[in-house]
Structure 1
Amino acid sequence: MQFRLLAVCLLLFLVSCNSTQTLEPIKVDIPRIRESKLIKKYQANSFEDSGIKTVKIDAKMSYKIGDSSHKLGLKFRIAKGEKIWMSADFLGIPVVKMLIEKDSVHYYNKFDKTYFEGSFEFIKELIGVNVNYGVLEKLFMGDMILNIASKKYNVDIHDNAYFFYDTKNEGYYIEGALYPFTFKTKSQVIEQVLSLNKFAAYYKTHQMVNEFLFPKVVELQANNKGKITVISMIYKDVTFDETLSFPYRIPKDCDKEIQLKSKKETKVDE
């Protein structure tokens, strides 16, 4: 009897697993609203248009590059429109730091004793597309990199979301999607037209912080010349408008300067 019960439970488990793999996404009845109203609802819920000045985040990060994968603790400090500070730690010990300012990037890695001081070309080396400070801040904070208020973009409804498309940005295809009802960013894609390079961000869940709906689970995917990188982040503890410091000093043992290989290309602007 126990064996038969176990067999039935196992069968139900297998059926449920197979069913999960083949189920279609639940279709949501998305209301069709005027584009101007949609833009206003997005702006009312965006980080850029909020009164928030600083953000402090304690996060967990896992990343996979090819067959290599790692898990790290991650801390963010952001002064809106000014700087982004990131510190990754292994077993509580800081090992990688990056300071991104409006016109410069600073980075060091204790693992391989490397450092970088220079331009946003360094970010392009990492993700395969050329971006500026504003684009990076929006990606991390869950805002659309497309300036949808300019009304220069095509709008469509599918896959349970409002989609905006920009096919006129020289050298790039850019796409962004909004969740219905919350009007928060669901996903965005930057794709270099003449290469395999592609960068995408997916905002899987959100959390309420001081009455503001903020990202909680974020996944970043990059295809840089065929090399696939996937970064998953969980924003666990988020606080707004604290007085923040942005400590950054290259350790003495990080003495290998990173040399860039990429050539200058058209930037993706907001």
Structure 2
Amino acid sequence: MKHYSLILLAFTFFIASCKRQHISKTSDTQVIDSLKLAESKPANDSLVTQPVITPEVVVTETTDEEKVKIDEIDFKYLKAKAKVSYKSAKDNQSFTVDIRVRKDSLIWMNVSAFGITVATALFNDSLVKLYDKYHGEYKEYSYSSFAEKFNFNVNYDILQALVVGNRPFKKNKSRVTRSNEYYLLKQQENKVLIDNYIGENKKLKKILLTQEDTSNKLTLDFDDFTTLNQFLFPQSSLITLDYQSKEDQKMYQTLVNIKHTKVELLDTPLEFPFRVPEKLLNKN
């Protein structure tokens, strides 16, 4: 039970700072069986070595993105339940996460195990609030402090993309290339390079974010698309964080599998309950 507050962070790819899994660049760690995304890959496919997609023909430069316009999900509120599996060399755990989103402003997550709430998190555009109910601890983080603590620059847009499968940076100028069965839309946001891989169904199949100053990489793979309110929604996703430890300079990896069991896109406002005992608020 002691890892549940960290598991909440794992769902948002932050658990790497707490569960160190030493790997080499050619590790052959396998995908967790529960993710359908793995079924389409060869049995010996490596999680560390991502699929090689080499651009072949340049289609356009920056101004003509309409040719590869992404079919994004439009909504006011999202309500979902997901089965999440976290795996490292020493740990393999599964849990349930309830998710609520108010588009472009608020994400709420509630982690439970055996039907008992163990942690709750609230994300807005500038702050992360985490209540570890099991241990009776409460923390607040800015995204800049998260970046330092968890080895990757993140913000609200990236977190929402993780949940919904939409492109995280829409107003950023892009360069578009053709890459086998994908269109590759390349961007840069501050010190983060973003590669958006768009499939023939005009959906994002993969987002690769590379931090220039460290070469740490965050990969979001989306699969198992089903029709939801006239949109194609990714029921399965795989989160991979590869980073170099500041302590020993070795490479580590975090893997998180997400399988949505229920998703609703709503116009009716949702509640985002986040109650923390006053004595914990005073300690923060």
Contact 2:160 2:168 in 1 (8 A): no
Contact 1:54 1:77 in 2 (8 A): yes
Alpha-carbon spacing, 1:170–1:179, altered in 2? closer, same or farther (3 Å)? same
| 123-132 or 154-163, larger mean C-alpha shift | 123-132
Contact 2:65 2:176 in 1 (8 A): no
AA at the equivalent of 2:269: T
Contact 1:110 1:254 in 2 (8 A): no
| 91-100 or 225-234, larger mean C-alpha shift | 225-234
Contact 1:105 1:119 in 2 (8 A): yes
Deviations 1:191-235 (A, max 9, x none): 112224221111022111122111100111112433311111111
Alpha-carbon spacing, 1:157–1:105, altered in 2? closer, same or farther (3 Å)? same
Q: Indicate yes or no: 2:169 matched with 1:146.
A: yes
Pick from 218, 239, 249 the counterpart of residue 237 of structure 2.
Answer: 218
Contact 1:128 1:199 in 2 (8 A): no
Q: Indicate yes or no: 2:176 matched with 1:155.
A: yes
After TM superposition, give the deviation of residue 159 of structure 1 in Å: 4.7
Of structures 1 and 2, the one scoring higher in RCO (CA 8 A, sep 6+) is 2
After TM superposition, give the deviation of residue 255 of structure 1 in Å: 8.7
Distance of 2:114 and 2:176 partners within structure 1: 45
Distance of 1:227 and 1:112 partners within structure 2: 27
In the alignment of these two chains, the number of paired residues is 226
Q: Can you give the 5+ residue segments of structure 2 that lack an aligned partner in the other structure?
A: 1-40, 46-50, 52-57, 246-250
Distance of 2:273 and 2:260 partners within structure 1: 21
Distance of 1:70 and 1:257 partners within structure 2: 30
Contact 1:171 1:194 in 2 (8 A): yes
Contact 1:98 1:105 in 2 (8 A): yes
Aligned twin of 1:208: 227
Aligned twin of 2:194: 174
Aligned twin of 2:14: none
After TM superposition, give the deviation of residue 36 of structure 1 in Å: 3.9
Aligned twin of 2:132: 109
Q: Indicate yes or no: 2:255 matched with 1:227.
A: no
- The residue matched to 1:96 in structure 2 has which SS? strand
Distance of 1:103 and 1:255 partners within structure 2: 18
Cα RMSD after superposing both structures: 3.2
Distance of 1:213 and 1:257 partners within structure 2: 44
